[in-house]
């Protein structure tokens, strides 16, 4: 168990948070003359700063108490808050395992925090021997683990991740943006026993709500109190809270869409594997495929001209493109065009 007083930034420990009108009086009945809102209209009131109704619903669905749930304006806000709670600019460090999600490093740069990189091994798994060399560095505050990982599409070995959680005296953030597409078990159940663990999930992928910008983080209530202390008071709009709530009422529809996407992923994989210019399709636990081809730039440009937009990842993994699984007809459109592609 970690003593947070030792790793939370001193200014965060000290600071008195902004107290909003909605912090002081809670309840929805009454004559509200406390927040300088306009009394007219339908979107005239400030949102619930702690998103209680939404958290309650997420709590029931995920089987984790609401006091363990933090919501952000997308996972991207939560990533940034991790830096601002724990990392002193200029001196502290975080560890990432590239190739991985770009926001960890961008957020580190914005916050002037040093990034240590331990590249994933050939099989895109964590190089634990190299982690052992630096895990005791007192300036290392955060370790970001993305599983299933973007852009490599695989899940990371559970025993490696558990070893890191147990042996690190800082915060481990496991980004599970794609876990609904994976058959592997989530790390959510560990949040109760491991107070240095933050598990992130999002409304943006399997739940189909990227436009609403709602990210979830599950963590120890004491850690969560620091996030609440520094977050912008009204970080999720009423419109977006309502949209997320409505989405959670469509559980069956959502599950069936996820199954369709997984089926299409497997179909797309089999179809793409037949092309001579495809050298490898990596095993995917996500809603996208990482595909190694003989000439990624050429293929990317060919598809762009035909208004099919994939992600060229050849700058991070040689000759690889990342293809998000689309609707059936979109996948067919991709396949049809690939049949007309003439590699060099
Ligand atoms: C897409 C994605 C997210 C989602 O970010 P939001 O800000 O919640 O939309 C988070 N992590 C990874 C690795 C992703 O690929």
Query: What is the pLDDT at residue 209?
Result: 97
Region for residue 192 given its phi and psi (left: phi exceeds 0; alpha: psi -120 to 50; beta: otherwise): alpha
Query: What is the pLDDT at residue 23?
Result: 79
Query: What is the pLDDT at residue 342?
Result: 94
Query: What is the pLDDT at residue 287?
Result: 98
Query: What is the pLDDT at residue 64?
Result: 97
Q: Position of tokens 């299933």?
A: 148
Query: What pTM was computed for the model?
Result: 0.97
Q: Is the peptide bond before 127 cis (omega within 30 degrees of 0)?
A: no
Q: Position of tokens 């690190």?
A: 168
Query: What is the pLDDT at residue 5?
Result: 83
Gap from CA of 317 to ligand 1 centroid (Å): 20
**Segment 317-328, tens digit of pLDDT:** 999 999 999 999
Query: What is the pLDDT at residue 235?
Result: 97
CA trace torsion 265, 266, 268, 270 (10° rounding): 160
Rounded mean pLDDT of the chain?
Answer: 96
Query: What is the pLDDT at residue 129?
Result: 98
CA-to-CA dists, residue 158 to 193, 259, 287, angstroms? 16, 24, 20
Q: Is the peptide bond before 99 cis (omega within 30 degrees of 0)?
A: yes
**Residue ID of nearest Cα to ligand 1 atom 14:** 177
Band (26; pLDDT cuts 50, 70, 90): confident
Gap from CA of 207 to ligand 1 centroid (Å): 12
Gap from CA of 204 to ligand 1 centroid (Å): 7
C-alpha span between 67 and 71 (Å, rounded):
11
pLDDT at 25 over 80: no
**Which domains, and CATH codes, for the chain?**
4-249 (3.40.640.10), 252-340 (3.90.1150.10)
Sign of CA dihedral 312, 326, 174, 240: positive
pLDDT at 2 over 90: no
pLDDT above 70 covers a percentage of the chain that reads 100
Query: Average of pLDDT values for 285-301?
Result: 98
Query: What is the pLDDT at residue 4?
Result: 85
Query: What is the pLDDT at residue 18?
Result: 85
Query: Average of pLDDT values for 159-186?
Result: 97
Gap from CA of 75 to ligand 1 centroid (Å): 6
Mutate to test the pocket of ligand 1, among 103, 176, 200 (most ligand atoms within 8 A of CB): 103
pLDDT at 27 over 80: no
């Amino acid at each position: 168990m970690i003593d947070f007083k030792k790793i939370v930034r001193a200014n965060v420990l000290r600071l008195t948070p902004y107290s909003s009108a909605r912090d002081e009086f809670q309840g929805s009945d009454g004559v509200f003359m406390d927040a300088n809102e306009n009394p007219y209209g339908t979107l005239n009131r400030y949102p619930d700063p702690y998103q209680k109704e939404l958290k309650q619903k997420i709590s029931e669905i995920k089987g984790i108490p609401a006091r363990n749930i933090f919501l952000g304006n997308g996972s991207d806000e939560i990533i940034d808050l991790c830096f601002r709670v724990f990392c002193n600019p200029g001196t502290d460090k975080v560890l990432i395992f590239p190739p991985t999600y770009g926001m960890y490093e961008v957020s580190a740069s914005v916050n002037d925090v040093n990034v240590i990189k331990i590249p994933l091994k050939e099989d895109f798994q964590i190089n634990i021997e190299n982690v052992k060399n630096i895990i005791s560095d007192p300036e290392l505050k955060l370790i970001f683990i993305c599983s299933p990982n973007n852009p490599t599409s695989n899940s990371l070995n559970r025993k490696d991740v558990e070893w890191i959680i147990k042996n690190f005296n800082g915060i481990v953030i496991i980004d599970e943006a794609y876990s609904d597409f994976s058959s592997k078990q989530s790390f959510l159940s560990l949040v109760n026993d491991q107070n240095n663990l933050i598990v992130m999930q999002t409304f943006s992928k399997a739940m189909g709500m990227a436009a609403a910008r709602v990210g979830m983080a599950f963590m120890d209530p004491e850690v969560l109190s620091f996030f609440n202390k520094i977050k912008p008071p009204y970080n999720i709009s009423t419109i977006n809270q309502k949209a997320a709530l409505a989405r959670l009422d469509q559980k069956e529809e959502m599950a069936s869409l996820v199954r369709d996407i997984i089926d299409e992923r497997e179909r797309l994989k089999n179809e793409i594997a037949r092309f001579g210019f495809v050298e490898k399709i990596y095993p995917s636990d996500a809603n996208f495929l990482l595909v190694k081809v003989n000439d990624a730039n050429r293929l990317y440009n060919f598809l762009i001209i035909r208004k099919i937009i994939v992600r060229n990842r050849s700058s991070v993994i040689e000759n690889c493109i990342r293809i998000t699984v689309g609707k059936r007809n979109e996948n067919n459109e991709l396949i049809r065009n690939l049949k007309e592609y003439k590699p060099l």
